[in-house]
Structure 1
């Protein structure tokens, strides 16, 4: 008696092949979802904690924490302009024409000064062209530098502390009160990191006249 012939589609190993295909499909789906949702938000992709190599090894920890230099000394336009501004070489040389004048590390600063050519710093934070951020609008309403930039006073080399993704920004715009600080703490990074009470939060919203309505509208950040 001859054995019954099997269909090429439903052979003896059909179940095994189906299970293999289902497992492969599930793996591809999970890997795709991970790549699409997780990888773009990972520290590796956003650059969090990964300082770019700068033309001069400038230490915020040394200048801000150890020497007590105010943020506004170097970032002089932060209270009046959308951009915080970078210090001209002249600002660096107000100190370094007298201090560490022979330091090899400061050779790019001296060369910039002698040649009248600006130092080309590498950006740490680089928002997309369709995102509008105004530094003056934030710091003049009591949003401390530390909220976005982290404890730069503890960074020998500055790196991103937060992703600055839209969801991260919206968390602040939805509940701005707890992020506000009195004027004397706006540039005091150690003080500004401390939580404020609910009553203080409400008072600061009134003091700065922060209008919470409209803060999450698209046009607020996408002009």
Structure 2
């Protein structure tokens, strides 16, 4: 009986620890993972080196729930003149010729039961780097945050430090403000827009 008891405790602890480790693992959260793409698009090159604003490709991020993915003609607005014969861009040229859009695979994908609206976050000054990280340093786009429920709730329960000037949302470098300055600015934004963390904590905000 003692052996059975000890074995049961060991199995229970192993399963419990394994479950906790899985939930916090990058395998489950996919933090740091990249997705195979039809073209190895480098945000580091386009954003970091060339200084292209996020909204040039993600055109609906300010007006829609979805940020949008660039159509082929957006790519060709530059690559009809630059690197026109590059082998790595062959899928882009084929897409333009055939009229069949490239199929980009989302890196920051939320479950279907989660409602997220990009436009309201951008309008309130939540910077791209808060969720997507420093994409200007990513040769291949990787997931920067876990996008688990607690990640969203941490922000919804205390949004002030994450609210900045709306005209700076696509800025990749931090503003250089102190924690006190960020909180003070965020609290002014919350007051102006009547942002109540108690309401943001409501299940119906994200699960509709």
For the criterion TM > 0.5, the same-fold answer is: yes
CA distance in 1, matches of 2:89, 2:62: 29
The answer as to 2:13 corresponding to 1:24 is no
1:35 alignment partner in structure 2: 18
The answer as to 2:206 corresponding to 1:221 is yes
Residue 212 (structure 1) shift: 3.1
The equivalent position to 1:171 in structure 2, one of 141, 148, 154, is 154
Structure label with greater radius of gyration = 1
2:195 alignment partner in structure 1: 210
The equivalent position to 2:76 in structure 1, one of 68, 93, 96, is 93
The equivalent position to 1:138 in structure 2, one of 121, 133, 140, is 121
Cα deviation per residue 1:166-194 (whole Å; 9 max; x = unaligned)?
A: 11100000000000111232110212586
2:138 alignment partner in structure 1: 155
Deviates more, 1:185-194 or 1:94-103: 185-194
The equivalent position to 1:180 in structure 2, one of 143, 163, 186, is 163
Residue 128 (structure 1) shift: 1.4
Residue 200 (structure 1) shift: 2.1
Residue 75 (structure 1) shift: 0.1
1:149–1:161 contact (8 Å) kept in structure 2: yes
Gaps of 5+ in 1: 1-16
Alignment of 1:52-91 (within 5 A): 52-91=35-74
CA distance in 2, matches of 1:166, 1:121: 25
CA distance in 1, matches of 2:139, 2:87: 18
Size of the alignment, in residue pairs? 206
Q: Compared with structure 1, are the counterparts of its residues 123 and 111 closer, same or farther at alpha carbon in structure 2 (3 Å cutoff)?
A: same
1:83–1:135 contact (8 Å) kept in structure 2: yes
TM-score (norm 2): 0.92
CA distance in 1, matches of 2:28, 2:177: 29
